Amino acid sequence: MEPIHNATVYIVDDDAGVREALAWLLRSRRLLSESFDSAEAFDERICGSFEIKFPSCALLDVRMGGMSGLAMFEKLIGYGLLPTLPVIFLTGHADVPTAVDAVKRGAFDFCEKPFSDNVLVDRIEQALAQSGAALAQRSEHTSLRARLEGLTERERDVMRLVVEGLPNKLVADQLDISVRTVEVHRARVFDKMRVKSAVELVNLLRNL
């Protein structure tokens, strides 16, 4: 898999040896990382106005002194950072059932210690790809909403009827305007929404 530019892997583990080994492994694969010795330290980093702007994922140890990885995962859900920040749990054998339950709740995966370097990096790269896709989708939604907000009230009226499948004559009758006026507004809607047909417009609005 090609390296994912500007990607960051957040390592959260209270074992310094594990943190250092993971950071070295990621550097060897040209991946940036940030390490935290507790869930509390990671929480302090991401709380508030923190926003995922580039592909990212988190490696969370299930069991740590203080806040557990599972409790941190619940916070990530509460912060609305999933799925732009996929979570891979690092777990001992005894914690596998807990990790499986977390995957059912939206975690990306878990890797049981001791883990295979290659398997873990493969899953990290897949998590980063998922993060990138989620970020692209979020960006598209933001752009689409901005385009919708750029429509005038009359253009929105015309668009609503066009999306319902009404021909220009019936749109004109419903809005009590001329067919020519409908054509002008329809063309402006298509231009502002960056589509070339009513079918494209319908498909675009389904993404909201």
DSSP state for residue 167 in the 8-state scheme: -
- pLDDT score, position 6: 85
- pLDDT score, position 2: 53
- pLDDT score, position 185: 96
Angle between helix 117-149 and 16-28 (nearest 10): 70
Q: Extract the residue ranges of the chain whose pLDDT is less than 50.
A: none
Reference 131, options 77, 87, 79, 73; nearest CA is 87
- pLDDT score, position 163: 95
- pLDDT score, position 48: 81
Entry pTM: 0.82
DSSP state for residue 29 in the 8-state scheme: T
b vs e for 2-25, b when ≥16 Cβ sit within 10 Å of the residue's Cβ? eebeebbbbbbbbeeebbeebbeb
Pick the CATH number of 8-141 from 3.40.50.2300, 1.10.760.10, 3.90.550.10, 2.60.40.420: 3.40.50.2300
In the chain, what are the helix, strand and coil shares in percent, each to the nearest 5? 55, 10, 30
- Whether residue 60 contacts residue 35, with contact meaning beta carbons closer than 8 Å, is answered with no
- pLDDT score, position 3: 55
| Domain spans of the chain, in order of start | 8-141, 150-205
Q: Report whether CATH 1.10.1660.10 matches the domain 150-205.
A: no
